[in-house]
Structure 1
Amino acid sequence: MTSRTSNLNPSQHNSRAHLAGKPTWGFTTILLLTAGLLLSVTLAVMLGPVAVTPGTIWRIALSHLPWLDQWIPVTWTKPEQYIVWEIRFPRVLLGVVVGAGLAVTGATIQALIRNSLADPYILGVSSGASVTATLVIVFGAFGFLGRLALPLSAFIGSLTAMLMVFALARVAGSISTTRLLLAGVAVSMMLSAVTSFIVTMAPNEKGIRDAMYWMMGSLAGAQWDTLFIPSLIVAVGTAVLLTRYRSLNALLTGEETAVTLGVNVQTFRVLLVVVASLLTGAVVSVSGSIGFVGLMIPHIVRLIVGSDHRRVLPVSLLAGAIFVVWADVCARLVLAPQELPIGIVTAVCGGPFFVWLLRRSSYSFGGEK
């Protein structure tokens, strides 16, 4: 009797072999990255015009936990309390959430279209979120939604952009990787032009300045009350994807193979589109458009731990968080006391990485080159 896998082409065999590769690296890598994330958060809060010791940082943080506050003596000054808890900690934690969300979204989109050149920024998803989010920032649109106005509008924009990309890429009922990437670039350019037009129509100079700075990416507006919604969405979205890691793995082997493995490809694609749009919208609404994180991090992670999404997703989450935390440190300190938009820092890193990917002989997961 002929084995089912004997009908797979060589690229599908390679994909399956890669899915099973490097199993021992997963758990160890997660532990190391978790320790690295804690260290990165500590150092990022320490660094700045006013030096703060690690012990002071964590005493201040733990003193805000209801069951520990009475056991921690106050050995810090009020300025230290304000700098650590009100300014630096929310910003660093927002960097953690943004990096985690962008990396997980990048891994999802790359699995969705089976190509490592894809990310929310390149496919125009971030640009779509930027259009509707800029409307909220500049004109106060959807004000009746209150605090939900920005994340909800960004989600609508990102979902619309992704649907546009898939609609433009579908020819004769089929979608190719090349058409998806080209459609993503086209949609991104069109929506960026729309965003620029919205900014030029701002009623005052402050609105223009705020919108332009936000469009280049920034964590400067981080506050504790802005953390809850994106943190919840990133956590829930990642958990949903982890429960479907087998379907993500099957998708990498090709649509026909995924169907034979019991995956309802059409329904699963809809789920991935909605989750990716929701994650992108949540992140863009609080940080602006930050490019290349979703491109670089998942690709590097796959080189380390293989293509099994049971490992790729949590490792990408941690690695993305660490990367954005340090990108924000660079944005804060390189030209201090002035501050660079974080999108410039990620572009400096991501641009050469993208060129490197283009120069490789193969950049797909076993299908189209």
Structure 2
Amino acid sequence: MKSKEIGRTGNIYYVVIFLLIGAIILSAVYSVSIGQVNIPFKQTMDILLHSLTNGRLGSLDQVESESYLNIILQVRMPRVIYALLIGMGLSLCGTVMQAVVQNPLADPYILGISSGASLGATFAILVGFGSGAFLSQFGVAFGAFVGAIFASIAVLVLSSIGGKATSVKLVLSGVVLGALCSSFSSLIIFFANNAEGIKSVTFWSMGSLASSSWDRTPIMAVIVLLGCGMFLFQHRVLNTMLLGDESAITLGINLSAFRKLYMVITALITGTMVAYAGMIGFVGLIIPHISRGIFGADHKRLVPGALLLGGLFLIWADILSRILIHNVELPIGIITSVIGSPLFIYMIVKKGYNFGG
């Protein structure tokens, strides 16, 4: 009887996964169809099929304008892929960090990564690397990435002082480093005599997918997908982290070493995403909770579900950022916060919700 119930549950899980994949595909097609120039859905499908199959499927005879090809393939498709990858990456990092620090309020930015990235980006925008410097060609993305990585390394070092890194020490170290980086960012802004630069820092801190391009996509795709591939096979360790260090010792698992490894990988993923798209909040916080409510606390099912839900969520957040106000693109971080805050409040007051399952 019990095996039959497990089988039925497994079948439902795979049905939900396939439904999410289908929803992502349809949402992606819809996303590239709309904007300041609305393209009919059928023509969008023809263009995409023709492009993806190298002309074997889809006809361009019914496409009204050649400009539709450039709009879809060169402008909107990289943006959709950006949204999918960043949504997957933030959800993955949020799921992992909640297990690493055993805290349901953890997100990808809890360890000072966001503050470190903000400091690096603020420095790049308002101070710069010098017009003749080699690093100047990388600009804001380079500054944000370096800031995020240095903040993560500092948290690792600080949390390891006086013994092994525990979940409590990691959180406290992240809070301290985050406050320190934020104060230095504020100091740079205070002394900067650059109104346009301050405006750029503010806009960057809200998050945006406007900088998406095919040139930048491969780097992000490799880092995010490699991270996803690795954590899909780490469910046993992630489940053990929820049980605590004492249970891990009896199972022969060194959680301290895994915490450091997972922190380095999540910092690399988060730093890359923040460097290219700025600060996009709440995705890594609420999506793991929603996924846990749907798929349960077992990371073998939770991680794939969170990846797909995160990608779908950010695609739709990007759609809303472009269509809510006519001819105006809202920063996507505002959309995710407006949607995420009520959802998270609902989950807090919902009776019977439990972090562990």
* TM-score of the two chains, using structure 2 as the length reference: 0.84
1:256 paired residue number: 246
Say whether 1:325 aligns with 2:315. yes
- Contact 2:100–2:167 under 8 Å retained in 1: no
Tell me how far apart the structure 1 counterparts of residues 26 and 81 of structure 2 sit (CA, whole Å): 13
CA–CA distance in 1 between the matches of 2:265 and 2:137? 21
Aligned residue for 1:307? 297
- The answer on whether the counterparts of 2:91 and 2:287 sit within 8 Å (CA) in structure 1 is yes
Which protein, 1 or 2, shows the higher relative CO under an 8 Å CA cutoff with sep ≥ 6?
A: 1
- 1:40 lines up with 2:19 in the alignment: no
* 1:101 and 2:92 correspond: no
User: Is the contact made by 1:22 and 1:306 (CA closer than 8 Å) also made in structure 2?
Assistant: no
Q: 2:78 aligns with which of 62, 87, 90?
A: 90
Is contact 1:21-1:305 (8 Å) kept? Answer: no
The answer to whether the 8 A contact 2:99-2:238 is kept is yes
Q: Which runs of 5+ in 1 are unaligned?
A: 1-19
Does the 8 Å contact 1:117/1:354 carry over to 2?
A: no
Q: Is the contact between residue 104 and residue 317 of structure 1 (CA under 8 Å) also seen in structure 2? A: yes
The answer on 1:244 being equivalent to 2:234 is yes
Query: 2:125·2:139 contact (CA, 8 Å) conserved in 1?
Result: no
Contact preservation (8 Å) 2:207, 2:279: yes
Residue-by-residue CA offset, 1:40-72 (whole Å, 9 max, x unaligned):
111111222322123322332344458437985
Give the superposed CA RMSD: 3.2
Partner of 1:195: 185
The number of aligned residues is: 347
Residue 119 (structure 1) aligned with residue 107 (structure 2)? yes
Question: In structure 2, what residue type is equivalent to 1:365?
Answer: G
| 2:211 paired residue number | 221
In structure 2, do the counterparts of structure 1 residues 56 and 190 end up closer, same or farther at CA, with 3 Å as the change threshold? Answer: farther
Shift of 1:358: 4.9
How much has 1:269 moved relative to structure 2?
Answer: 1.1
1:132 to 2:112 alignment: no
Q: 1:118 to 1:202 in 2, by over 3 A?
A: same
Amino acid aligned to 2:87: G
> Which residue does the alignment assign to 1:5?
none
Query: Which of 152-161 and 332-341 deviates more?
Result: 152-161
Q: How has the CA–CA distance of structure 1 residues 157 and 345 changed in structure 2, closer, same or farther, with 3 Å as cutoff?
A: same
Deviation, 1:235, is 0.1
Tell me by how many angstroms 1:218 deviates: 0.7
Distance 1:150 1:308, change over 3 A: farther
2:353 paired with 1:365: no
Rounded to whole Å, the distance in 2 between the matches of 1:318 and 1:231 is 15
Deviates further, 249-258 or 171-180: 171-180
Asked whether the equivalents of residues 152 and 281 of structure 1 are also in contact (C-alpha less than 8 Å), the reply is no
Q: Contact 2:129–2:135 at 8 Å: present in 1 too?
A: no
Residues 145-201 of structure 1: CA distance to partner in whole angstroms, max 9, x if unpaired?
Answer: 687776565444323334545666679747776665555445434423333444455
Q: Distance in 2 between matches of 1:74 and 1:165?
A: 58
Please tell me whether the aligned partners of residues 155 and 277 of structure 1 are also in contact (alpha carbons under 8 angstroms).
no
Matched, 1:80 2:71: no
Percent of aligned positions that are identical? 37
| TM-score (structure 1 length as normaliser) | 0.82
In the other structure, the counterpart of 1:58 is 45
Classify 1:318/1:356 alpha carbon distance in 2 versus 1 (closer, same or farther; 3 Å).
same
Work out whether residues 103 and 317 of structure 1, in 8 Å CA contact, stay in contact via their aligned partners in 2: yes
* Equivalent residue number for residue 4 of structure 1: none
Deviations along 1:80-137, whole A, 9 cap, x unmatched?
1222222222212211111111000100101101121100234432222222234334
8 Å Cα contact 1:37-1:321 kept in structure 2: yes
Which segment drifts farther, 356-365 or 25-34? 356-365
Secondary structure of the residue aligned to 1:224 is coil
